[in-house]
């Protein structure tokens, strides 16, 4: 377990020789968010006494790691580069240990409709949805398909890319006439759109970590955006969203959202850390929205809030995860 917050120095002499490389950046829509996360991670690790370096996911990465091997890599990449499993598969090929879920589990979690299907089969509720590629609307006629979606799911709707993060392209649609424009905006971020029934309620983000004793949930973070929708602007513009940590939930509901987040983490085969986004409606029913295998670690991100609310220091938690990854790497050699 990590150490609670106290007034002492944020260092651990046993970790001085651990060398970590933090991957951030990449060539995705979320590059700037990733760089912000990576910078925060490096700073936290340096405070914890580690030798930490920020590296971009570019053509210099593998030669650099070969020339100066790291004990373990922390992936702070967001978007497809860091979350669809591709970079992790390459790190596996190179025999480089890293913090986080294996490539196959990342591919599943990255595909929001597939993840919703697996989670629902495990008994977790999730809003009804339909996922369709752009070609379907082009070949069958957008108007006819949209009419069927509204007839089946009703209004309001939530429209989002079937893969992706940071709420890029995500929009709440309350009127039929606004649906076509929302679809066009969504397709700018991916070829397949996920349309799901919008659920009114309290949105919470529940982070899960495994520090050596199995996955457990950190205190839920309640999200209250000024606009009513937690979109990209609300996520990354300070002051536009209020966060309450722990979430203002009844004790029984707080316990159940924690259980759901751990269930999601386990049934999708995730490892080390994840963040599950949920809605709790007025009746106390919990609805799964999506899961993130590379949670944001910026100044406005929920994972660091949850770590602090649990009485831990971010650098200690990240150090524990890196030490466990390095140990796994030694066992595989």
Single out the residue of 283, 257, 290, 263 nearest to residue 129, CA to CA: 290
Residue 278's H or E segment, with its range, is strand 273-280
Residue 118 CA to residue 110 CA, distance in Å, equals: 12
Residue 3 CA to residue 90 CA, distance in Å, equals: 33
Residue 243 CA to residue 221 CA, distance in Å, equals: 6
Answer for the pair 304, 317: CB distance below 8 angstroms, yes or no: no
Answer for the pair 211, 320: CB distance below 8 angstroms, yes or no: yes
Token pair of 196 as six digits: 């799901």
Token pair of 175 as six digits: 């009127």
Residue 281 CA to residue 261 CA, distance in Å, equals: 16
13-to-10, 43, 49 alpha-carbon distances in Å: 10, 17, 7
Residue recorded with tokens 């990255």 = 110
Could you write out the DSSP letters of every residue in 47-92? HTT-EEEEEESSTTHHHHHHHS--SEEEE---SHHHHSSHHHHHHH
Catalytic residue numbers read 30, 166, 236, 275, 277, 290, 292, 296
Per the DSSP assignment, residues forming a β-bridge with 279 are 203, 287
Task: Give the contacts of 239 (CB within 8 A, at least 6 positions apart).
Answer: none
Residue 116 CA to residue 127 CA, distance in Å, equals: 9
First to last CA, the chain: 26
């Amino acid at each position: 377990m990590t150490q609670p917050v106290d007034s002492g120095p944020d260092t651990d002499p046993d970790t001085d020789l651990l060398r970590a490389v933090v991957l951030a950046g990449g060539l995705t829509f979320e590059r700037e968010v990733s760089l912000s996360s990576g910078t925060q991670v490096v700073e936290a690790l340096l405070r914890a006494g580690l030798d930490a370096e920020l590296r971009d996911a570019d053509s210099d990465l593998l030669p650099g790691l070969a020339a100066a091997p790291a004990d373990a890599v922390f992936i702070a990449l967001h978007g497809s580069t860091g979350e669809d499993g591709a970079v992790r598969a390459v790190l596996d090929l190179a025999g480089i240990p890293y913090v986080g879920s294996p490539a196959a589990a990342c591919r599943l979690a990255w595909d929001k409709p597939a993840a919703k299907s697996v989670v629902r089969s495990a008994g977790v509720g999730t809003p009804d949805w339909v996922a369709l590629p752009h070609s379907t609307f082009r070949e069958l006629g957008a108007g006819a398909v949209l009419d069927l979606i509204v007839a089946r799911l009703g209004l309001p709707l939530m429209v989002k890319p079937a893969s992706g993060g940071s709420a890029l392209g995500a929009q709440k649609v309350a009127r039929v006439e606004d649906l076509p424009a929302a679809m066009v905006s969504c397709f700018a971020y991916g070829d397949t759109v996920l349309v799901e029934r919008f659920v009114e309620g309290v949105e919470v983000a529940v982070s899960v970590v495994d520090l050596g004793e199995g996955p457990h949930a950190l205190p839920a973070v309640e999200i209250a955006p000024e606009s009513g929708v937690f979109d990209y602007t609300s996520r990354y513009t300070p002051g536009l969203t209020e966060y309450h940590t722990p979430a203002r939930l009844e004790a029984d509901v707080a316990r159940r959202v924690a259980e759901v987040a751990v269930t999601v983490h386990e049934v999708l085969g995730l490892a080390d850390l994840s963040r599950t986004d949920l809605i709790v409606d007025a009746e106390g029913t919990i609805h799964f929205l999506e899961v993130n295998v590379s949670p944001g670690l910026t100044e406005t991100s929920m994972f660091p809030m949850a770590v602090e609310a649990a009485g831990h220091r971010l650098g200690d938690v990240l150090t524990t995860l890196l030490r466990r990854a390095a140990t796994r790497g030694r066992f595989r050699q």
